[in-house]
Copies of this chain bind each other. A is one copy, B any other.
């Protein structure tokens, strides 16, 4: 069985608060990536905007969620796999953003290929984002 919300927070040495439980639950309930604004809408006036920003930051630092770079100016967040811990992410999968429905998917089973860089360049992190039409929107 999967870890429940409280256990996940404890595992990452975070104190259990209402906002953290709620925001983590949004990620567990959603199959796809979420933006700050999505969480703000889902939670209504329950928490302050600032609390959401700080909670997302904390979750990223602790390795609970990871960010997804996008071509427009928005940051998306999605749950990490279990291997991610504080300060060390292992999310080397491809991300897919649907141009039609805007849904963002973690393609956990598609891993980012190694690329050969010019002399003198050393890779620390590689992000691969594909955009197009998702399996829900194809007709």
Contacts and interface: CB of A to CB of B under 8 A. Distances in A.
B94 A115 contact: yes
Interface residues of A, number: 40
What is the total number of copies of this protein in its complex? 2
A70 interface: yes
A116 interface: yes
Contact of A124 (B107, B110, B133, B135): B133
A96 interface: yes
A132 B135 CA distance: 33
A57 interface: no
A132 B128 contact: no
A119 interface: yes
Contacts of A39: none
Interface string A99-135: 1000001010110110111111111111111111111
Given A118-B135, A128-B129, 13 more contacts: A69-B127, A69-B129, A71-B125, A73-B73, A73-B74, A96-B121, A109-B118, A110-B118, A120-B135, A121-B134, A122-B133, A123-B131, A126-B129
12 contacts: A69-B129, A105-B121, A110-B118, A112-B128, A113-B113, A115-B128, A115-B130, A120-B138, A121-B132, A126-B131, A127-B129, A128-B128
Interface of A: 67, 69-75, 94, 96, 99, 105, 107, 109-110, 112-113, 115-136, 138
